[in-house]
Amino acid sequence: MGVRMAIAIALLAMWASAAPADEVRQLKFHHNSDGALHFVQTETVAGAQVFWSERSQVLIPHPAGTVHLSGDREFEIIERALDAWNAAALTCGDGIRLTLGEPEPGEVGFDRINRIVFRDERWCAPIDCDAFCGRREDCRGGEVCHNPSAAGLTTLCYNVESGEILDADIELNGVSFAISDGGLSEAGGSELADLANTFTHEVGHFIGLDHTCWNPENGPQPSDHQGNLVPDCRATALLTPEIREATMFATQTNGETKKATLEQDDIDGLCRIYPADTGGCGCTAGSGNPGSAVLLVFALVLAVLPRSRQSACRAGRFSD
Ligand SMILES: [Zn+2]
């Protein structure tokens, strides 16, 4: 039982204009025609649902990869995860296409390059004020450390008013966890974070999906448009199989691998956000003016929490 873990996802948001820091946006469930609870699309604090207007996105991995996996195995795994989402997109018209680019060094930040960075030494990200998602005067520099319970983290930079995603970066935690493949990791250790499991989930955040249940520490419990409360992630009796088994479910267990394969709920979410491009959806890349855009840094954390809650590196919205 000692290695039994509960997992949670936490949300962290930093408002780039007048709203208070750490304000958290509302979640909203969508409903099928049969009324069943379904996937959740990330929303901005202004109520816009996030999306990529440019339907072809490239993700650039840092060449260092991770020492936890041998050879280039990590790149094979992340490419396979992207392909899983691409295959899902094909079922509804090829609405988005994700490509793994050639590795290149670089850090997370608002540079319109979608980066994948493994953190094997410090589970922290340096803050470059020249690539700050928000008003530069609000940037304090330094570095930000993430929730040590988080196996992965996706940060979206988007326009609060339109919801258009402008940049997205994925970080993977090789400090708190042994990043594993099939239950094996060069790092040893008993707390395994299967890379395919974690990364496939993070890609869901990358395209604009949120978790299929609500975390109480992320704000008031929201209601959907039918007035139904979104179920608490900890209220296990309320979590339907569609919610619990989804890749976008908010928790994972030690060494779990089932999130590497998408469920119908995840695919429905993808297809809702990215239906077949009919040419009439205004799918043109934004002009992109970081100086004037109202932006929001939004981080989604795939967290693995042991029985006793771990505190986050900074005050905020991390929770189980
Ligand atoms: Zn997540």
What CATH number corresponds to the domain at position 30? Answer: 3.40.390.10
| Distance from residue 245's CA to the centre of ligand 1 (Å) | 14
| Distance from residue 205's CA to the centre of ligand 1 (Å) | 6
Question: Is 269 within a domain?
Answer: yes
| Distance from residue 194's CA to the centre of ligand 1 (Å) | 14
| Distance from residue 201's CA to the centre of ligand 1 (Å) | 6
Give CA–CA dist 147/53, Å, rounded.
30
| Distance from residue 91's CA to the centre of ligand 1 (Å) | 23
Question: Is 71 within a domain?
Answer: yes
Q: Which pLDDT value is given to residue 106?
A: 97
Question: Is 315 within a domain?
Answer: no
129-138: Cβ within 8 A, 24+ apart: 131/107, 133/16, 133/109, 133/157, 133/166, 133/167, 133/295, 133/296, 133/297, 134/14, 134/15, 134/16, 134/17, 134/295, 134/296, 134/297, 135/16, 135/17, 138/16
| Distance from residue 278's CA to the centre of ligand 1 (Å) | 30
| Distance from residue 284's CA to the centre of ligand 1 (Å) | 27
| Distance from residue 218's CA to the centre of ligand 1 (Å) | 13
Question: Is 2 within a domain?
Answer: no
Question: Is 206 within a domain?
Answer: yes
In this structure, the strands spanning 192-194 and 178-180 are parallel
Question: Is 107 within a domain?
Answer: yes
| Distance from residue 279's CA to the centre of ligand 1 (Å) | 31
Count of structural domains, the chain: 1
Question: Is 319 within a domain?
Answer: no
The dihedral of CA 197, 202, 208, 213: what is its sign?
positive
Domain span holding position 278: 7-305
| Distance from residue 24's CA to the centre of ligand 1 (Å) | 15
| Distance from residue 162's CA to the centre of ligand 1 (Å) | 22
| Distance from residue 285's CA to the centre of ligand 1 (Å) | 26
Return the closest-CA partner of residue 258 out of 208, 202, 198: 198
| Distance from residue 152's CA to the centre of ligand 1 (Å) | 8
Neighbours of ion ligand 1 (CB under 5 A): 9, 300, 302
| Distance from residue 12's CA to the centre of ligand 1 (Å) | 11
The predicted model scores a pTM of 0.79
Give CA–CA dist 242/169, Å, rounded.
27
| Distance from residue 302's CA to the centre of ligand 1 (Å) | 4
Question: How far from each other are the two terminal CA atoms of the chain, in whole angstroms?
Answer: 18
Q: Which pLDDT value is given to residue 36?
A: 54
| Distance from residue 74's CA to the centre of ligand 1 (Å) | 19
Question: Is 311 within a domain?
Answer: no
Instruction: List per-residue pLDDT tens for the chain, 320 residues long.
Output: 332 333 333 332 222 222 222 222 333 334 344 445 468 888 888 888 899 999 999 999 999 999 999 999 999 999 999 999 999 999 988 789 999 999 999 999 999 999 999 999 999 999 999 999 888 888 999 999 999 988 999 999 999 999 999 999 999 999 999 999 999 999 988 899 999 999 999 999 999 998 888 888 766 666 544 456 778 988 888 888 888 999 998 888 999 999 999 999 899 899 989 988 654 443 333 333 333 334 444 455 444 333 222 222 122 222 22
- Three-state secondary-structure class, residue 156: strand
| Distance from residue 249's CA to the centre of ligand 1 (Å) | 7
Q: Which pLDDT value is given to residue 49?
A: 87
Phi, psi for residue 129 in degrees, rounded to 5: -70, -15
